[in-house]
Amino acid sequence: MRAVVITKPGDVDVLDVADRPARGPGPGEVRIAVKAAAVNPTDIGLRERGGACDQPWVPGMDAAGVVESVGPGVERLQVGQEVMAAVSPRRPEGGAQQERLIVPAASVVPIPDGATLPEAATLPMNGLTALRGLDMLGLSEGDTIAVTGGAGLLGSYVIPLAKEQGLRVIADAKPEDEKLVESFGADVVVPRGEKFTDAVRDAAPGGADAVYDTALLRREAFPAIRDGGQIVVVRGWDGDEVEDRSIRVHPVMVARVLERTDWLEHLRELASAGKLKLRVAHEYPPEQAAEAHRAMDAGGLRGRAVIVF
């Protein structure tokens, strides 16, 4: 089978396509003929820094395709079913960007109604990340959350999922993205950039109860948070303890919830109902994975680049 591989840590020229062996599914596993696999910021990090297992590494955390076979004990999924899956690229068998993917059945659900396979491939990992961060915050109905990077894919999932929990949502956007972010369900849209924290304070006197920081502002977002409030950060934290106004920091690690079937089913239901918008920025064959990474590196994508087999 073909797979996108990272031959060593480095720039986009370390990406290649290689043939890899494919095995059958074991107990509790599913083998998927992958048709689409999203490219996410975690793939950029894997390419730049490498992984813990032997190289080459297969990137990708999101896949959509067709069930080819199921292992012993798997009854919920059927051969021939169109499905989506979340997977860790830091396991020995690698991530989602390969033509045949073995994955725990718990990480696999049917694709949303009306979605294409490339669209479905944008949902699992980012949707789980959004749910995990909100779960860590444990906010109550009526609380206020500010979302940075409101027009990005992760932000676009956080906003409606927060609204579903009864939260008041303030989200940032560039002027050209204001209507887009409003369409995700934000109650208040504020300017992105240096005016963000002041605008949040104007909309939520005293500060928001929490910030879900998808734009990597980290400590720069602290002035938008009330004393004793919280912040969810993605792609790691510097490890330093925070003594500033008793703000609690929650680094979200999606690898811990990749087998939350109930969450994946919930994401599927919301997307089927049109409450989560599945956005594909561009499709690339595996041989053009470097172009997909360049597009991600350039920033400003409204959706995800997707590798299509």
Name the superfamily (CATH) of residues 126-254.
NAD(P)-binding Rossmann-like Domain (3.40.50.720)
**Model confidence at 240: pLDDT above 70:** no
What is the average pLDDT score of the chain?
95
User: Which H, E and C letters describe the chain, residue by residue?
Assistant: CEEEEECCCCCHHHEEEEECCCCCCCCCEEEEEEEEEEECHHHHHHHHHCCCCCCCECCCCEEEEEEEEECCCCCCCCCCCEEEEECCCCCCCCCCCECEEEEEHHHEEECCCCCCHHHHCCCHHHHHHHHHHHHHHCCCCCCEEEEECCCCHHHHHHHHHHHHCCCEEEEEECHHHHHHHHHCCCCEEEECCCCHHHHHHHHCCCCEEEEEECCCCHHHHHHHEEEEEEEEECCCCCCCCCCCCCCEEEECCHHHHCCCHHHHHHHHHHHHCCCCCCCEEEEECHHHHHHHHHHHHHCCCCCEEEEEC
Listed by start position, the domains of the chain span: 2-123+278-308, 126-254
Overall fold of domain 2-123+278-308: Quinone Oxidoreductase; Chain A, domain 1 (3.90.180)
pTM for this prediction = 0.94
**Model confidence at 243: pLDDT above 80:** no
Mean pLDDT in residue range 148-154: 95
pLDDT tens digits, residue range 248-297? 999 999 999 999 999 999 999 999 999 999 999 999 999 999 999 999 88
